[in-house]
Structure 1
Amino acid sequence: MATPPTADQFLAALRTEGLTIVEVGSWRTHNRNHKGPWGPVHGVVIHHTATSGAQRTVELCRVGRAGLPGPLCHGVITKDGTVSLVGYGRANHAGLGDGDVLRAVINEEPLPPDNEANTDGNRYFYGFECENLGDGKDPWPEGQLAAIEAAAAALCRHHGWSERSVIGHLEWQPGKIDPLGFTMDSMRERIKRRLGR
């Protein structure tokens, strides 16, 4: 069980990994905490946005869309590798997912198939939305992949987690395909190397 750090500690953890960070508005207090608890935190979920254009993508993730108010994540990782912080606390990113997957993340074990949607992931996971069309053709620049690796590793390092605490949305919620264009196994291997494990 891990208590979420303060917003300042979260920011410091990301900066320790050398990330380029933009603080967007009142991100420290922009959240959905009035809709349910935030924490304990157990891992990090990686998403793609199905959008293009950094400014538009960041604003969408900050504000949300019809029927899904923002923030839609904690940080937006754009094509150039910048991490824009748009919220902190409960965010509308993970939705309902598989409780067996959550148990595997907590125990840092191989993930089972995600075949149920019975557990509130917005309570338990950090979320990073990554600018990409999500069509399997839009490229993932190395700088962006490196930023995903570094952001996830920052939180793993802060909490003492291994790379197994980082999952894709497609591994959490049935029917999701994101992130599309790289494998989460390859990303976890990058994070493992970064953590020196």
Structure 2
Amino acid sequence: MATPPSAATFLKALRDEGLKVVEVGDWRTHNRNHKGPFGPVHGVMIHHTVTKGTANTVKMCRDGYAGLPGPLCHGVIAKDGTVHLVGYGRANHAGMGDDDVLKAVKDQTALPADNEANTDGNRAFYGFECENLGDGKDPWPEAQLEAIEKAAAALCRLHGWDADRVIGHLEWQPGKVDPRGFTMRSMRDRINQRLGSSKPTPPPGQPATGGGTGTYTVRKGDTLFNIARAQQTTVAKLVDLNDLDDPNEISVGQKLKVPAKSTPAPAKPSPSYEPFPGASFFHGGRHSPIITALGRRLVALGFGRHYKNGPGPNWTNADKRNVEDFQRAQGWTGSNADGIPGPETWKRLRIPKV
């Protein structure tokens, strides 16, 4: 667990790593903290912008756009390697992602498949948007790749992390493909070298020791998404494992490395979740172990800031406000974010059976 440092310490860490940094306006206080917490932080997330032109890119990442207010990251990494700081605090960059991925990041172990969107990433990650069209053809200049390496290494050094704390958006949220044009495995190798670590980056989907790969021959009509689903892995893992520059360009007869199935990890028992007790269950005076389980789940997902004591079995205003934070993190407003769990809120929270 790491508490975010001051903006001044954040800036110093980047400059101490040798980066050219531009401070954009009121970046130190420009954030989304009124919508939810920032921190504890557990890692660094890399994105591409799908934009062209540094000035345009920086403006968009600072201000956001219709439906997604800025800041959209903490820093924009331009083609020339300059880092433009546009915000500090909570930023709309990561969105909801997989809690199993977050656990692997915390444990600094190989990443699992990102097949869920149930955890607030805006709270848990620093975010860097990198100026690139994201079409697999727009080049990544060495100055820009080196700046990504330095920016991530600076924050790893600040918190005592290694490169396993650095992930791409495509490894966090199902359906995302960014950054596209280089592999996160190769970037993590660069970061580890900068940090002086001899720890190799394991291929995605494999444990740090042991494991292996198999092969799959591409057939007519295949897409990388369908192959990933059939192989019980993700597009991001296949991209990294095969050093693919463009996940949309695979050809019939091409042999792809896939995570080996000969030594699968022990199967986890199917989780048992508490059935939804109904919205009327949640009212003042209600006392139940279900409420304790709800509170503990909220804390585990990063939505426990209103608890002073607890969580406990009595339904309190702190429970309600934490549920409201969770609901707002889903993008809900109005009656859909009133702090009272409804069927969809309950489904996404996945309260363990008590």
* Structure 1 Cα separation of the partners of residues 110 and 128 of structure 2: 21
The equivalent residue for 2:118 is 118
The equivalent residue for 1:103 is 103
The equivalent residue for 1:55 is 55
1:25-44 aligned at under 5 Å gives the runs 25-44=25-44
Deviation at 1:28, TM superposition (A): 0.1
User: What is the identity, as a one-letter code, of the residue corresponding to 1:105?
Assistant: V
Query: Is the aligned partner of 1:191 residue 2:185?
Result: no
Deviation at 1:110, TM superposition (A): 0.2
User: What is the identity, as a one-letter code, of the residue corresponding to 2:187?
Assistant: M
Q: TM-score, normalised by structure 2?
A: 0.56
* Structure 2 Cα separation of the partners of residues 180 and 55 of structure 1: 21
Deviations 1:50-76 (A, max 9, x none): 000000000000000000000000000
SS of residue matched to 2:47: strand
* Structure 2 Cα separation of the partners of residues 98 and 148 of structure 1: 23
Give the aligned length.
Answer: 197
Deviation at 1:97, TM superposition (A): 0.2
SS of residue matched to 1:11: helix
Deviation at 1:6, TM superposition (A): 0.2
SS of residue matched to 1:29: coil
Deviations 1:63-119 (A, max 9, x none): 000000000000000000000000000000000000000000000000001000000
User: What is the identity, as a one-letter code, of the residue corresponding to 1:48?
Assistant: H
Identity of aligned residues (%): 77
Q: TM-score, normalised by structure 1?
A: 1.00
The equivalent residue for 1:167 is 167
Structure 1, gaps ≥5 residues long: none
Deviation at 1:35, TM superposition (A): 0.3
Deviation at 1:142, TM superposition (A): 0.1
Query: Is the aligned partner of 1:18 residue 2:18?
Result: yes
* Structure 1 Cα separation of the partners of residues 110 and 104 of structure 2: 6
SS of residue matched to 1:46: strand
Greater fraction strand: 1
The equivalent residue for 2:3 is 3
The equivalent residue for 2:84 is 84
* Structure 2 Cα separation of the partners of residues 33 and 104 of structure 1: 26
